């Protein structure tokens, strides 16, 4: 079984379903509510575990009562958790997410890791066949990048630490909205050139995914689906991509990830969709 190490952010997600997004000084009655562990690395880890991958998440949770929720949810979904801040009394990051009923569009308010500082364990990080980092907790991200056998980077939003991580990456997966300071122009080609990794993947929501493996490039179509809930779809894509890269080339791995993300958006809530995934053996 492939051993995947996910390194990055874990949060408590408070997820509300609403019929309309309230304006300034307005209120809206939620039609549904869920609580789950969230964060790019954590959601990717849950996805990969659901696909049959052996997954360890390295993150900062702490001793606060809210941390117990994160640990319980991840462990219930097959993710081994290595907490690098087990004695911290500070609450973990909390995200408030609203999902618009009918379209699945989401709005997120989060402080992410904020100014939380974590240290790399003295014994180092666990060995793995492949490592996924999301750029949160920079010290951990750099240590993971340097020690990784194969590195996949979830480039969600530009972070200065990416300048230290990208040189170690085999695959960098970014969205079309990602902006690298060295980009010559806002195009996929310019983004891939600025990132400089051997393989760069650029997602476009419901539009085809583009990939660049110099000198080759290509597109992977995204089958149309009825979107119910888009929260965490990108994280699901990254987790599935990392899991699939263990035994597939890049285009095939992207195709797998596209279909997994499609399953995610067709189901409401943070975890119910996992039951619809085909388990890899």
Residue 106 DSSP symbol: E
Calpha distance 154→152 (Å, rounded): 7
Element (H, E) at 5: strand 3-7
- Could you tell me which residue, 162 or 108, shows the higher pLDDT? 162
Which residues on neighbouring strands pair with residue 57, listed in sequence order? Answer: 6, 81
233 vs 184, more confident: 233
Average pLDDT over residues 214-235: 94
Q: Among candidates 272, 38, 55, which has minimal Cα distance to 136?
A: 38
Token pair 């100014």: residue: 115
DSSP helix/strand/coil, 69: helix
Say what the pLDDT of residue 104 is.
79
CA distance 8 to 118: 11
Range of weakest confidence among 105-114, 148-157, 233-242, 269-278: 105-114
79 vs 81: CA distance, rounded Å: 6
Encode pLDDT of 166-202 as tens digits: 999 999 999 999 999 999 888 999 999 999 999 999 9
Query: Residue 279 pLDDT more than 70?
Result: no
Chain-centroid distance, C-alpha 58: 13
Pairing of strands 207-213, 216-220: antiparallel
CA triple 88-93-97, angle to 5 deg:
160
Least confident span in 46-50, 60-64, 89-93, 275-279 = 275-279
pLDDT above 80 (res 115): no
**What pLDDT digit, counting tens, does each position of 127-151 carry?**
999 999 999 999 999 999 999 999 9
pTM: 0.93
How confident is residue 281, by pLDDT bands cut at 50, 70 and 90? very low
Tell me which of 134 and 101 has the higher pLDDT: 134
User: Which H or E run contains 31?
Assistant: none
Alpha-helix runs per DSSP H in the chain? 40-50, 65-76, 138-147, 162-165, 188-195, 233-244, 250-265
Question: How confident is the model over 150-177, as a mean pLDDT?
Answer: 96
What is the average pLDDT score of the chain? 93
**pLDDT range class, residue 63, cuts 50, 70, 90:** very high
Token pair, residue 95, equals 């995200």
Q: Is the pLDDT of residue 113 over 80?
A: no
Give the strand pairing for 11-18 and 94-100: parallel
pLDDT, position 114: 61
Rounded to an integer, what distance in angstroms lies between the CA atom of residue 158 and that of residue 174?
10
């Amino acid at each position: 079984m492939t051993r995947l190490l996910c390194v990055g952010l874990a949060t408590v997600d408070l997820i509300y379903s609403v019929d309309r997004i309230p304006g300034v000084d307005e209120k809206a009655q939620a039609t549904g509510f869920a609580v789950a562990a969230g964060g790019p690395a954590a959601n990717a880890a849950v996805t990969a575990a659901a696909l049959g991958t052996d997954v360890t998440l390295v993150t900062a949770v702490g001793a606060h009562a809210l941390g117990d929720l994160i640990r319980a949810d991840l462990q219930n979904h097959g993710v081994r958790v290595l907490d690098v801040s087990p004695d911290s009394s500070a609450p973990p990051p909390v995200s408030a997410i609203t999902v618009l009923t009918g379209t699945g569009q989401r709005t997120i308010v989060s402080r992410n890791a904020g100014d939380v500082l974590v240290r790399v364990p003295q014994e180092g990080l666990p060995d793995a066949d492949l490592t996924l980092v999301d750029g949160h907790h920079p010290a951990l991200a750099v240590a993971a990048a340097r020690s990784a056998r194969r590195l996949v980077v979830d480039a969600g939003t530009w972070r200065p630490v990416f300048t230290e991580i990208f040189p170690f990456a085999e695959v960098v997966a970014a969205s079309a909205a990602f902006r690298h300071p060295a980009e010559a122009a806002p195009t996929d080609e310019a983004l891939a050139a600025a990132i400089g990794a051997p393989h760069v993947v650029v997602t476009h929501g419901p539009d085809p995914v583009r990939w660049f493996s110099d000198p080759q490039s290509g597109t992977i179509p995204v089958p149309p689906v009825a979107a119910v809930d888009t929260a965490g779809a990108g994280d699901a894509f990254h987790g599935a991509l990392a899991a699939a890269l263990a035994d597939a080339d890049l285009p095939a791995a992207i195709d797998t990830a596209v279909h997994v993300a499609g399953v995610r958006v067709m189901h409401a809530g943070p975890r119910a969709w996992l039951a619809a995934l085909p388990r890899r053996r």
